[in-house]
Amino acid sequence: MVLRFPLRRSASFTLECRTLFETPDPTILTMEANVLVMGAENVGKSALTVRFLTQRFIGEYGDLESIYSRSLDVEGRKILFHIWDFPSSHGQADQDSTEEKRIQWADGFILVYSICDRASFHVLPTKVQFIKVAKEGQSPEKVPIVIVGNKRDLGHHRAVSIEEGRLLALTLNCDFYEVSAAEASHGALMVFQGLAQHFWQARLPPRRGIGIRGIVKSMSAVFARKRTDSF
């Protein structure tokens, strides 16, 4: 299926998007997940999203709010992402009233900052806290949050070191990537692949250890069989 998405400004782009409904093979495991892209203004939220959707960097993205979809194959499993890209330039009042709604919609979060903009880095702890409060009652494993330091190509304007990014992510129990949406596609892809791994993990039933009872049971079964075999 070829989906046509409105893009910011007058442009539009065409995306080859194979959805779950076109996957007749029942042996392929599939799932859907909603992802919210958050962060301060101008950090590259749209650039990262469009990179993941089209592998392209188009430079200017305007301020259209959109939900995009793309499916991704990860280790033989298919995941359909719905990605809500929200421009931070929208009014603060509007943001406050609808942010909670967007957070409730989302299964996972990408928090973007620019490595050249320290203020965009400083807002992250508050955002993470806001998500955790809104998603209270759900275990952190089920609500993955990824912190992404964007604009890695602008190293000469760097205001946040990679170590600071890593440390913050560690402190907040989030994954961390530093990428350049402008330079390459693999950074955006890694971010979504990482999220996909989390979603699959959360969906798998918790692994139970065999336990002492299980070991005793298995050993008894083996010895019982041996005794029977010797008759």
Ligand X SMILES: Nc1nc2c(ncn2[C@@H]2O[C@H](COP(=O)(O)OP(=O)(O)OP(=O)(O)O)[C@@H](O)[C@H]2O)c(=O)[nH]1
> For residues 43 and 206, what is the distance between their CA atoms, to the nearest angstrom?
37
The dihedrals phi and psi of 61, each to the nearest 5 degrees, come to: -125, -5
- Report the distance separating Cα 214 and Cα 71, nearest Å: 40
> In whole angstroms, how close is the CB of 186 to ligand X at the nearest point?
13
User: Which residue type does 4 have?
Assistant: R
Q: Identify which range of 14-22, 39-47, 123-131, 134-142 contacts ligand X by CB under 6 A.
A: 39-47
**How many C-beta atoms lie closer than 10 Å to residue 139's C-beta?**
8
Judged by CB under 6 A, the residue of 47, 79, 188, 191 near ligand X is 47
- Alpha carbons 148 and 121: distance in angstroms, whole number: 10
Q: List the one residue from 38, 46, 148, 168 that touches ligand X (CB under 6 A).
A: 46
Q: 37 vs 79, which CB is nearer to ligand X?
A: 37
Residue 177 Cβ vs ligand X, minimum distance, rounded to whole Å:
12
Least Cα distance to 43 among 5, 72, 4, 86 occurs for 86
In the complex, least distance from residue 151 CB atom to ligand X, rounded to whole angstroms? 4
Among 43, 80, 103, 111, binds ligand X (CB under 6 A): 43
* Residue number of the CB atom closest to ligand X: 44
**For residue 85, what are its two tokens?**
């890209």
Residue 42 in the binding site for ligand X (CB under 6 A):
yes
**Near ligand X by CB under 6 A, which window of 95-103, 138-146, 151-159, 170-178?**
151-159
Cβ proximity to ligand X, 47 vs 172, nearer residue? 47
Token code pair at residue 160: 């946040």
Letters for 92-121 (x = contact with ligand X by CB under 6 A, - = none) are ------------------------------
Query: What one-character-per-residue DSSP string does 145-214 give?
Result: EEEEEE-GGGGGG--S-HHHHHHHHHHHT-EEEE--TTT-SHHHHHHHHHHHHHHHHHHSPPPPP-HHHH
Which residues of the chain form contacts with ligand X (CB under 6 A)? 39, 41-47, 59-61, 63, 87-89, 150-151, 153-154, 180-182
